Amino acid sequence: MAVDLHKFANPARFLRITSAIFPWAAIVTVLLLAVGLYLALFASPEDYQQGATVRIMFVHVPAAWMAMSIYVMMAISSATGLIWKHPVADLSAKAAAPIGACFTFLALVTGSLWGQPMWGTFWVWDARLTSMLILFFLYLGYMAIWGSFDDQSKAGKAAAILVLIGAINVPIIKFSVDWWNTLHQPASVATMDGPKIHSSILTPLLVMGLAYTSLFLTIFIIRVKAEILGRRLRILRLAHVED
């Protein structure tokens, strides 16, 4: 067959491991989402100023966390792909990108829905919001690069270069609230001195965060599998054409 076997020895093991994890991840996701949504929408106290709108937070904040951490994960796995040429690295970054884009979009949408009651407008051009929008564009650009190359291994490297350059944006998002005076809230959970908010809010927030993470993991496994199998299929088809 027309392929380097060593290239696909690893993915085989990878597929085995992920197949084993997958059902658990799916179950955990469902449980955590159920608990998290219950805590967030029913059990948590209403804010004395904001009323029920404060509950947008439980969707918004973890989504923003995911948006950034998925990007960081993509950057790390792209770097791995560039340096050690590990075959699964590029594919896993590729598989994560659309999920990350969705979380970014979710954070943007929930943020602006929240902005309407809080700041009186859907959108302002301050540093946090803008850098988040840039993150969204970076995700789009990343996916566009994958779509634009015929040669997948080239596409992987090109996309990796973009992710790595764009990684500068992540600290900008994180610290924009400290560096510029923005409308947006400064950090209160993930700070140097530990969380600064009450546990009745912190708990559902963290549960939702975990729920999102395992949701990500579930979808991610499906997508990586599809990527690896898709690549195999393509090779088989070409090998078939050759004979």
Residues that bind ligand HEM (CB under 6 A): 57, 60-61, 64-65, 107-108, 111-112, 114-115, 118, 128-129, 132, 173-174, 184-185, 187-190
Q: What is the amino acid identity at position 149?
A: F
Judge whether 219 and 103 are in contact, CB under 8 Å. no
| Min separation Cβ 50 and ligand HEM, Å | 8
Between 148 and 188, CB nearer to ligand HEM: 188
CA distance 197 to 203: 10
Rg (CA), the chain: 20
Residue of 13, 154, 196, 198 that binds another protein (CB under 8 A): 154
Six-digit token pair at 65? 């966390």
Q: Which of residues 165-184 bind another protein (CB under 8 A)?
A: 165-166, 169, 172
Q: d(Cα 60, Cα 57) in Å, to the nearest integer?
A: 5
Closest CA to 88 of 186, 231, 193: 231
SS3 120: coil
Binding residue (CB under 8 A) for another protein from 63, 66, 96, 138: 138
Binding stretches for another protein (CB under 8 A):
2-4, 82, 121-127, 130, 133-134, 137-138, 140-141, 144-145, 147-152, 154, 157-158, 161-162, 164-166, 169, 172, 231, 234-235, 238, 241-242
